[in-house]
Amino acid sequence: MNTNTKGPFQLFYEHIYVIVLVTAVAVISAYFVTGSITPQYRSQARTYLPNATDTVSLTSEAGNVPNSPLLPTANPDFQSSLLGVLNAADTRILVASNVPERDSEWLKKNVEFKIDRYNLITITAFDPEPKMALKVANEYLRAFTNKIDDTTKQRADGRQATFAAGITTSSKELKGLEAGRLDFMREHGAIDFTSELAELNSRQIEYQNRITSNITTLAGLVAQRITMQSLLEARPETAETSSTLVNNPLLEELKRNLSTANRERVGLALQFTPNHPDVIAKEKEIDSIGAEIALMEEIVRGSSTLGPDALHEDLQTRLVDLDLRVAALTKQGELYEDVLETTKARRLELSLLQVELEAMDARINNVRQTLTNYRDRKAELDIYLSRNPTFLLTPELPVEAAMPYLPILWVNLLVAAILGLSISIVLVLIMAQANASQEKNLW
């Protein structure tokens, strides 16, 4: 059997009544259903947490001069935390207490919070009454802002109290340390250890130079004494003060003997030859007497008087003077060393006292700096709290809706028409398939 297959347009044309009927029913139903729905009005507020903190500083202008606009923060952790505060049960209960017409459960279902594409926190309230939607949105915005600000102000108040307690404690500690420093200075009888240390340092250098010079001088005196001692030992203790000189009688006798010997040699020369033993012996006698005469002085010391040697006495006097100078320098060196040791001991004592005093001064400076920091921070907090600051900025306040947000009639009718067309097309296809199956079963 040949079957005539119909196209979709022909099929829909043959069943146009079904499509029109179903679509009309859907649109009419949507119209009546929309009319029966209670209108919902929407009121929306937008707020945000700035990406920079507005600070006040008394010590630096860096925190006082704005260097960038206060734009919404893009930190997801901050945004999630803020949404958590908005969705908290205590926030909802606080709003419900200020809006007695709406309970907490109703607020939970009809108020929504989210972060829009501009990183703004949106608070959207839905309500059948536009004034009530506006009131709920305002209350949520106020409660949210106050909760953030109050929490922060409580923390600031706590820090302010901490700084005030720190100021009191540091002031007492500073007074005690300054009194202790004054007692320390009085106990050791000093006003300025630095000046006294400088003076002791100069004194120590002076006595060290004196000791060095004394050692050098003493070494020179010891060497001079050794030389003088050797000169003294080489000099006799006594010397002649007067003496007389006389002719030497032995020399006169030897001259007479020489004259006699010469005469005898002349006599022998007349009697004997030069080689005669008597002549030779006489010549030897003459030579011996001449040698003795040559050794004799014509004038000899007669009588002399001895007395103390003047140079010996001068050397002895100078040696005694050197001994006295050596003893004096030795004693002076001992005194210098004693004074130097005393100076070193006092300098060491003052150095230790200076270290202790510097430790006190450092402690006082630290406490004074801490006290200044406490006062600066407290003053900054006083200024901060006097400004009544807010952390959230609200670029869009909620307003009363002029027309309902839901339902939207034309949207519902359009959806109903599309839905009716879809259902009618499916229904036509089902009917065509059923007719085809029935015809096939008949054959």
Residue-by-residue DSSP string for 142-187: HHHHHHHHHHHHHHHHHHHHHHHHHHHHHHHHHHHHHHHHHHHHHH
Of 36-45, 125-134, 297-306, the one with minimum mean pLDDT is: 297-306
pLDDT of residue 45: 94
Helix 310-386 vs helix 193-234: angle between axes, to the nearest 10 degrees? 170
Looking at per-residue confidence, does 442 or 272 come out higher? 272
pLDDT tens for each residue of 319-370: 788 788 888 888 888 888 888 888 888 888 888 888 888 899 999 999 999 9
CA distance 392 to 147: 11
Q: Quote the tokens at residue 97.
A: 């207490």
Given a contact cutoff of 8 angstroms between Cβ atoms, the answer to whether 169 and 367 are in contact is: no
pLDDT tens for each residue of 424-439: 888 878 877 777 776 6
Q: What is the pTM of this model?
A: 0.51
pLDDT of residue 299: 46
Given a contact cutoff of 8 angstroms between Cβ atoms, the answer to whether 123 and 47 are in contact is: yes
pLDDT of residue 283: 80
CA distance 401 to 40: 10
Give yes or no for residue 87 having a pLDDT over 80.
yes
pLDDT tens for each residue of 138-179: 999 999 998 888 888 888 788 888 989 999 999 999 999 999
pLDDT tens for each residue of 190-232: 667 778 778 888 888 888 888 888 888 888 878 877 877 777 6
Three-state DSSP at 409 gives helix
Whole-angstrom Cα Rg for the chain: 69
pLDDT over 70 percentage in the chain: 82
Domain chopping of the chain, boundaries: 39-187+392-422
Q: Quote the tokens at residue 362.
A: 């450092």
* DSSP code at position 302: E
For residue 428, count other CB atoms closer than 10 A to its CB. 19
Length, in residues, of the chain: 443
Average pLDDT over residues 43-63: 78
Looking at per-residue confidence, does 37 or 308 come out higher? 37
Cα angle: 232, vertex 236, 241; to 5 degrees:
125
Per CATH, the architecture of 39-187+392-422 is what? Answer: 2-Layer Sandwich (3.30)
Q: How confident is the model at residue 442 (pLDDT cuts 50, 70, 90)?
A: low
Q: Quote the tokens at residue 206.
A: 């002076």
